[in-house]
Amino acid sequence: MERNDDYFDDETEELTPAAAAPKGSPFEPDPDLIATAQEALRLAEAAAETAETAHETAEDDLADAEGAVAVAEFKVTDFEADSGLREWEKAAAREELSRAKRAYSRAVQRLGRAKVRLEDTAAALEQASAALDQAEKTPAPSPEPEEQPQQRFASLPVFVEEYVVPNWIHKLGENYAGSWCTKWWEHTEAITRLEATWEAFEVMRLQPPPSLSTWIRDHLDVHMRALTAPHGVFHNCNAREGDHVHDPRRPWAVANPPEGLFEVNKDALVHGRSDAAAAEPGERDDAEYDISAYEMNGMVNEETGEVNV
């Protein structure tokens, strides 16, 4: 007998289905659909077994009825030929034959119904088996995307103007050693801190109480105190007069670590400068630094390159 190589694994020589799904196949069957089909098959098997038993019982009953008719017919024939029997005895034999024939007729009907039931359950069993096969080949439905809650504020400037400023009313000037800038969006640190405050607000506003109080304590108070501190990013600005002074301070210099010291994600959106291309400390242009911050916060028009406020 020739070996069918389609059913053998070259390495293990074990018998394996040639049409088996390849390892690592992304196909995932629907477990709910399979469970439903398995339950339907179980019920169909139970119904078919019951129908088979009923059919066998009906066949036995019919055989018994046939035997009873044969005995009754023989008795009637024998009684009719016996002249020594009384007429009522012969009539009783004929009545017994009549009852046997009626029982036989009912047995025939029961067997007919049992046969129909057996055929129906066999068909249902075949359908249930086919449904299970189909369920095992049907991929699970893709999960429906979760409906995202609508964002409260359209942009960071709207959030600052409509929510932050009205909820942070502090005296500025001699009685309060703090400062604010009407052009906050020209300060990189302000953009970063206010963006973080806004992101936290959009998430925590959907959470149950006391989420708002927690947001004020852990986000609004923390970042606004840092921004309006006497030596904060707005210390050269005058909110009363509307004056704005760009902070000339540059970011602190950072030396590049040895290559391979840290793991690098090549798919990340932002990568650091290489040693060869890195500028000397203090040579990075402030305008480039600010534009970079605006870009990270989605506030730069891609077509014109201007800052959207």
Domain boundaries, the chain: 28-137, 156-247+275-296
Rounded Cα distance between 118 and 59, Å, is: 13
Q: What is the pLDDT of residue 172?
A: 60
State pLDDT tens for residues 85-116.
Answer: 888 888 998 999 999 999 999 999 999 999 99
Q: Which residue has the tokens 């953009």?
A: 191
Buried b (16+ CB within 10 A) or exposed e, 190-203: bbebbbebbebbee
Local confidence band at 62 (pLDDT 50, 70, 90 cut-offs): very high
Q: Which of 214 and 176 is assigned the larger pLDDT?
A: 214
The two tokens of residue 159 are 């959030």
Q: Which of 84 and 40 is assigned the larger pLDDT?
A: 40
Residues, the chain, total?
A: 309
The two tokens of residue 279 are 């500028």
pTM more than 0.85: no
Rounded Cα distance between 164 and 175, Å, is: 21
Local confidence band at 66 (pLDDT 50, 70, 90 cut-offs): very high
Q: What is the pLDDT of residue 255?
A: 84
Q: What is the pLDDT of residue 38?
A: 93
Residues in CB range of 263: below 8 A, 6 or more apart: none
Question: 118, 75, 120, 125: which is closest to 100 by C-alpha?
Answer: 75
The two tokens of residue 29 are 């069957």
Q: Which residue has the tokens 């210390």?
A: 235
Helical axes 31-81 vs 87-137, angle rounded to 10°: 170
Residue 209 has pLDDT above 50, yes or no: yes
Residue 278 has pLDDT above 70, yes or no: no
The mean pLDDT of 156-161, rounded to a whole number, is: 94
Local confidence band at 174 (pLDDT 50, 70, 90 cut-offs): low
- Please list the residues that pair with 139 across neighbouring strands: 29
The two tokens of residue 122 are 């066999």
